[in-house]
């Protein structure tokens, strides 16, 4: 994968008193978060998440961090520390544990419950260590202290890593909601205390660094949700992340007040909310929750469904409802509440869903027309507060696209961090912290690893390019039988095309060109089938490019008879 330092080579061995930090995902992208910290020959991993595919990843299910850098050093890994339970921070853990199943996983109670449920599907029983804010744990040479932070999922933690070579404060995803629904504030007193002790490297969440001011408190969206419940004529369908416990709690509370029954739709939603309720993070009012199969027993104006699909995922419940491919048949009078922000790259897919639902007569309420979602990430004002409280010696923005990282870096500079001590890196770039100074020292190979069904990392960008060509440009096969004795065409050319609006008859124009090109080649003594196939490819490719203005995938086949 490219980064803004193309001249970088493999780094030299780490200095004896140094700490090395390498992001294997999460820098220059929203998702796939994973950082590797190294000291004294030991490794500590912070988060191990997935990135969800976009339109230019046809057929891809998930994108993983590149484990190549650590594959030969699995025995050096002391633990995987998980900051919270979102997929972009825990989703790749099963794929790493398949390489070595006994790597300890460290996290809060809800985070561990979510990853254990995920690992159960992969038939992996993990070694886990439960922690909570205020605790310190020695993980090899890494002395880790955990700090409460507020996010859009309960039980999120920042981690302060003490090593003989320096200290690192990694925020994970966080914001500074002063009126959190679970009354669990980001612990700024702990941030200040750690700042007094000395933070050599501050790794800070960049996702909202471009947004001025402060992130809206979760409680401020309650009036918008209440309005949806007041105005809805028939069913209410709420789409949100399957891990957004706070949002589901608000919907349950509104449903109880409105006298509506709630059903969860989607395997991940049912599983995650079941775990959250069992552990006490989700409080389900008595008699409100019902099985989706029993919804027909209640009138439409007494029903709420909570489902996945707020990011336009094609197989999620909401997408299937919009395409009339779901047992829930939505239509006029129904209200869909999309209670999530747009992850960059998903905009087109989400708007397709909104348009599809509105075409069916559904009233769609989303962030664009109502205050029905607030971010889980600190905006610029909150980040400034943190920099001033922590007073870090060096800063490394994490978690975000390049524009987010740059904006976060500028905030650090504004608060007095010297510009040369603000490290802007992308995935694979190696940062060494030596004698209190962080600097880029090299880069390691770090690409995308694609999950495609049961296949993991078995195809590359070349295969994706082929898929994009098939999707966008179409496909032509040309079959010719050559008489091996005379070198003349015995049968064909037989042309089959897919993905073209033009009638197949148009390809009769290119047959003489193929015949002429083959005759010239065989006349010049070319007999090798592969070379003759390339002659055919060039002949039809040039014609299609000039005549139809397309660059399809061309499969030429020469049969010697």
Active-site residues, by number, are 205, 377
Euclidean distance between CA atoms 104 and 207, whole angstroms: 28
231 appears as a binding residue in the annotation: no
376 appears as a binding residue in the annotation: yes
374 appears as a binding residue in the annotation: yes
Kindly report the number of other CB atoms within 10 A of residue 458's CB atom: 11
Euclidean distance between CA atoms 333 and 232, whole angstroms: 7
213 appears as a binding residue in the annotation: no
Give whole-number Cα distances, 417 to 192, 200, 420, 489, in Å: 16, 12, 8, 75
Backbone phi, psi, residue 264, to 5°: -90, 135
**What is the residue-wise DSSP string for 37-82?**
EEETTEEEEE----B---TTSTT--EEE--THHHHTTGGGEEEEE-
399 appears as a binding residue in the annotation: yes
286 appears as a binding residue in the annotation: no
Give whole-number Cα distances, 330 to 71, 235, 337, in Å: 48, 9, 13
385: part of which helix (H) or strand (E)? Answer: helix 380-390
Give burial (CB, 10 Å; 0-12/13-18/19+) of 2: exposed
528 appears as a binding residue in the annotation: no
151 appears as a binding residue in the annotation: yes
Backbone phi, psi, residue 209, to 5°: -65, -25
173 appears as a binding residue in the annotation: yes
Alpha helix positions (H), 68-200 = 68-71, 87-90, 93-97, 109-121, 188-197
Give whole-number Cα distances, 195 to 131, 168, 375, 389, 393, in Å: 22, 11, 26, 7, 10
Residue 66 preceded by cis peptide, ω within 30: no
243 appears as a binding residue in the annotation: yes
Give whole-number Cα distances, 281 to 24, 82, 128, 415, in Å: 31, 18, 20, 37
61 appears as a binding residue in the annotation: yes
447 appears as a binding residue in the annotation: no
Give whole-number Cα distances, 428 to 30, 87, 238, 460, in Å: 16, 21, 39, 18
| Binding residue positions for Ca(2+) | 59, 61, 452
| Binding residue positions | 59, 61, 84, 86, 88-89, 151, 173, 242-244, 373-377, 399, 452
| Binding residue positions for Zn(2+) | 84, 86, 88-89, 151, 173, 399
| Binding residue positions for substrate | 242-244, 373-377
């Amino acid at each position: 994968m490219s980064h803004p330092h193309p001249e970088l080579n493999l780094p030299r061995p780490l200095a004896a008193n140094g700490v090395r930090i390498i992001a294997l995902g999460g820098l220059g992208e929203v998702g796939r978060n994973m950082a590797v910290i190294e000291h004294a020959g030991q490794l500590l991993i912070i988060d191990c998440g997935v990135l969800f595919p976009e339109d230019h990843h046809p057929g891809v299910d998930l994108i993983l961090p590149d484990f190549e850098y650590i594959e030969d050093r699995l025995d050096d890994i002391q633990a995987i520390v998980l900051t919270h339970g979102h997929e972009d921070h825990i989703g790749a853990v099963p794929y790493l544990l398949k390489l070595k199943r006994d790597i300890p996983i460290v996290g809060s109670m809800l985070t561990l419950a979510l990853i254990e449920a995920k690992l159960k599907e992969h038939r992996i029983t993990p070694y886990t260590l439960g922690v909570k804010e205020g605790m310190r744990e020695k993980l090899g040479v890494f002395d880790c202290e955990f700090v409460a932070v507020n996010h859009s999922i309960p039980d999120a933690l920042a981690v302060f890593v003490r090593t003989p070579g320096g200290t690192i404060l990694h925020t994970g995803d966080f914001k500074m909601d002063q009126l959190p629904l679970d009354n669990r504030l980001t612990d700024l007193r702990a941030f200040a205390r750690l700042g007094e002790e000395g933070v050599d490297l501050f790794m800070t969440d960049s996702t909202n660094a471009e947004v001025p001011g402060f992130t809206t408190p979760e409680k401020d969206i309650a009036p918008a949700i209440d309005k949806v419940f007041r105005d809805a004529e028939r069913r209410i369908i709420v789409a949100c992340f399957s891990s957004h416990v706070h949002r589901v709690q608000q919907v349950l509370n509104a449903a109880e007040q409105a006298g509506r029954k709630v059903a969860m739709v989607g395997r991940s939603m049912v599983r995650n909310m079941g775990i959250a309720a069992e552990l006490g993070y989700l409080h389900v009012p008595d008699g409100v929750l019902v099985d989706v199969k029993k919804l027909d027993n209640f009138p439409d104006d007494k029903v709420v469904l909570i489902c996945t699909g707020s990011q336009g995922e094609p197989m999620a419940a909401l997408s299937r409802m919009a395409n009339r491919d779901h047992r829930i048949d939505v239509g006029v009078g129904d209200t869909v509440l999309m209670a999530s922000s747009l992850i960059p790259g998903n905009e087109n897919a989400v708007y397709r869903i909104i348009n599809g639902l509105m075409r069916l007569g559904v009233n769609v309420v989303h962030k664009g027309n109502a205050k029905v979602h607030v971010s889980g990430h600190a905006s610029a004002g909150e980040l400034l507060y943190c920099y001033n409280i922590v007073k870090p010696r060096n800063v490394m923005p994490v978690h975000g696209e390049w524009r987010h990282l740059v904006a976060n870096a500028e905030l650090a500079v504004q608060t007095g961090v010297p510009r040369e001590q603000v490290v802007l890196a992308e995935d694979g770039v190696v940062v060494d912290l030596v004698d209190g100074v962080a600097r880029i020292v090299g880069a390691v190979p770090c690409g995308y690893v694609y999950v495609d069904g049961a296949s993991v990392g078995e195809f590359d960008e070349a295969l994706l390019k082929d898929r994009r060509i098939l999707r966008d440009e179409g496909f032509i096969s040309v079959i010719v039988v050559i008489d091996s004795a005379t070198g003349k065409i015995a049968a064909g050319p037989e042309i089959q095309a897919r993905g073209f609006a033009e009638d197949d008859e148009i390809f009769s124009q290119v047959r003489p060109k193929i015949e002429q090109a083959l005759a010239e080649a065989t006349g010049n003594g070319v007999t090798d089938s592969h070379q003759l196939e390339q002659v055919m490819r060039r002949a039809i490719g040039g014609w299609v490019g000039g005549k139809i203005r397309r660059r399809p995938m061309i499969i030429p086949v020469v049969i010697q008879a």
